[in-house]
Structure 1
């Protein structure tokens, strides 16, 4: 493995893990705060127990996300020094603000965890809300930095030098809102389905059913909002890509020839050599409509651009199709649940419906990982789109493959520890906080 591939692999692996830790840690506080609000309104002890159970998970994920995020910040400097040398002064502001949001999140989480029966009950609840809001702000600010890499703004680039730097314009670049909005919606969808699926599985095992049923219903609400909003946010993001990065759109669809009334390809295997897509299903004119709102609009193909700036077409296309496939599955599951809720209430207690949600637990994060693959791989060969190539930004330091192996071991270890801790919480905490379980009354006495 050469150093360039090792550096890219290390960043891909680190981002792939961190995005899961950070998104769950970013959205779980809102589920926690909602359960807490329900407890304050109803006095139902199950909601209190659920709030405490989820708060422990939030604490574990916050610590894990902090570690993985810190590692990523070091990797940017160590693996891509040329990139940070030029880009740091331009897009440093969102990273600085993200650090502030991180500190607020840490303080608010500490207040929430240790504030039971010590603070005013509504101030205590607000601390939980603040954990979610500051975590969400952190995610948006980090996405703003990534969006700048896709849509560099806020400077003049003359003869290889950067002048007239405007950090506000850089942060609020054209890609910022579409990417951030789509990311937030995807995080709500993925986390909602994961949490709902775990609790659905435990309901089928007849373990603390009152507790897990309450948790399942809250999580499903968040999951469905995310699932039904994802097509809207995805449409906004796709139209933005069409305008800013038409070559990425062409790679997403493996669209080789410029044409009007371009077809949308479902599935298929791109053959770059013959510039065809085998076994794909073409929906006439749909790509033109989705991209530009006009069935006869012209869509630029890959052949419109020099081959040396083509993204990896096969990876980008497959990732895009995977994202769409699992996104559609979650929408269909959401429709099924709403149909059951309004027209077949007895279905809500059927094991087959719960097993569908249990099976769908990873769907959101598969789609999320695929979407980020589209964003990052589809930008190649650029690290700063249209300005700096990724190969020119990599460190000249040799032996990067050993760093890749070392960091991979760290992330795998973190994942194993995280799964162990979360699973232990899932098994033990409900018994401590579910008033329908005998252990709850033993603990109180």
Structure 2
């Protein structure tokens, strides 16, 4: 591999690792606050224990997310010095605001964790809400940087660098509403599905556990809501990509020839005029194919296409399961608890993370060979420092170690809620 590929691989590995913890840092505080509200309203010790467990899980994942996020911030400067050197002042504002959100989240997480019996109930609940808001804000501001890289605005490019810089315009580049909503929903969706799967697994082994049945009832509404909203937001994002990055859309769909009334191809099936409708809302609209663009501007087509298919497939499966679950909930006036549904939620539990990771691969691979679309190529931004294989393999081992440690710590948290241990763990 060349140093450019090692730099890209290291950045990709760091992002793939960090995004899981970042997503949990966004979503778990919401579930934590919901559990806390239920505990306060009902006085139920199970909900109180659940809020405590979610708070501890948030702290563990927040700590690892902080480490991996710090690594990413250094990698931006060390691996891509031309990008940060020339465009840091253009897109530096959301980075600064993300730092503020991060520190706010850390402060209020400390209050929530250690102030349960030391502060007023209102202040304690408020701190939990602020953790949830700050986590979402942090993800929001970081995503704005990615929006800029995909559809840049707020400056005039020149051979000497950007001029006429407007930081606010750059921060809110076109399409920001769709991509930030898509990312935030993916965080809530992935975390809620994972949580539902964990509790479904325990219920398959211990059907009488009231704690895990209540925990599942906390996760399912968020999982179902986000699974049904996500395809709608994704449709808006695809339409924006058709206008701003037509070559990415063509790679996503494996579409090579420009045509009107372009069909949508999914899993070997072909829906007539489906791609024209998806991209432009018009069954007769012209959709540009890959052959319309210079070959050196193509992203890695096969990788983008497969990642997109995985994202759509996983998202469709989650939406279908959510519809079935909500129909059963409506008919029976309670969340479904049959072994068949528990198995379904267990099998679906990794789909949110799979779809989230695949979606980020579509976004990043689909932008190649540009680090800033249409402005700066990735090869122009990479560091001239050689031997980038060494840091790549070093960080790979570090991430593997951290992953094992986190899995062990989270498993201990779940084990403490098994029947016969919930009450002991609460004291």
TM-score band, normalised by shorter chain: over 0.9
CA drift of 1:355 comes to 1.2
Does the 8 A contact of 1:241 with 1:249 survive in 2?
yes
Q: Aligned partners of 1:204, 1:116: CA distance in 2, in Å?
A: 32
Paired residues, number: 427
Cα distance 1:116–1:347, how it changes in 2: closer, same or farther (>3 A)? Answer: closer
Equivalent residue, structure 1, for 2:23: 23
Does the 8 A contact of 1:262 with 1:287 survive in 2?
yes
Does the 8 A contact of 2:57 with 2:413 survive in 1?
yes
Does the 8 A contact of 2:251 with 2:299 survive in 1?
yes
The 3-state SS of whatever aligns with 1:349 is coil
Consecutive unaligned residues in structure 2, runs of 5 or more: none
Equivalent residue, structure 1, for 2:284: 296
Q: Aligned partners of 2:412, 2:54: CA distance in 1, in Å?
A: 12
Equivalent residue, structure 2, for 1:387: 375
Q: Aligned partners of 2:304, 2:34: CA distance in 1, in Å?
A: 37
Equivalent residue, structure 2, for 1:324: 312
Equivalent residue, structure 2, for 1:365: 353
CA drift of 1:208 comes to 7.0
Shifted more, 39-48 versus 141-150: the winner is 39-48
Q: Within 5 Å, which residues of 2 pair with 1:177-188?
A: 177-188=177-188
The 3-state SS of whatever aligns with 1:265 is strand
Q: Within 5 Å, which residues of 2 pair with 1:413-428?
A: 413-428=401-416
Q: Within 5 Å, which residues of 2 pair with 1:43-54?
A: 43-54=43-54
The 3-state SS of whatever aligns with 1:71 is helix
Q: TM-score, normalised by structure 1?
A: 0.93
Q: Aligned partners of 1:419, 1:357: CA distance in 2, in Å?
A: 20
Equivalent residue, structure 1, for 2:271: 283
Q: Aligned partners of 1:375, 1:134: CA distance in 2, in Å?
A: 24
Q: Aligned partners of 1:295, 1:244: CA distance in 2, in Å?
A: 20
Equivalent residue, structure 1, for 2:131: 131
The 3-state SS of whatever aligns with 2:367 is coil
The 3-state SS of whatever aligns with 2:157 is strand
Is structure 2 residue 323 aligned with structure 1 residue 335? yes
Does the 8 A contact of 1:46 with 1:433 survive in 2?
no
Q: Deviations over 1:53-98 (max 9, x none)?
A: 1100000010010000000001111111111111211101000000
Q: Deviations over 1:134-180 (max 9, x none)?
A: 00000000000011000111111123421111111110100321110
| 4+ runs deviating over 4 angstroms | 344-347, 429-433
The 3-state SS of whatever aligns with 2:53 is helix
Is structure 2 residue 91 aligned with structure 1 residue 91? yes
Q: Aligned partners of 2:120, 2:421: CA distance in 1, in Å?
A: 21
Equivalent residue, structure 2, for 1:202: 202
The 3-state SS of whatever aligns with 1:67 is helix
Q: Deviations over 1:20-39 (max 9, x none)?
A: 01001110000000000111
The 3-state SS of whatever aligns with 1:202 is helix
Q: Within 5 Å, which residues of 2 pair with 1:58-137?
A: 58-137=58-137
Does the 8 A contact of 2:206 with 2:419 survive in 1?
no
Consecutive unaligned residues in structure 1, runs of 5 or more: 268-279
Does the 8 A contact of 2:209 with 2:419 survive in 1?
no
Superposed CA RMSD in Å reads 1.5
Q: Aligned partners of 1:179, 1:123: CA distance in 2, in Å?
A: 33
Q: Aligned partners of 2:381, 2:145: CA distance in 1, in Å?
A: 17
Equivalent residue, structure 2, for 1:277: none
Equivalent residue, structure 1, for 2:256: 256
Cα distance 1:432–1:138, how it changes in 2: closer, same or farther (>3 A)? Answer: farther
Q: Deviations over 1:251-275 (max 9, x none)?
A: 10111111110000112xxxxxxxx
Equivalent residue, structure 2, for 1:147: 147
Equivalent residue, structure 2, for 1:403: 391
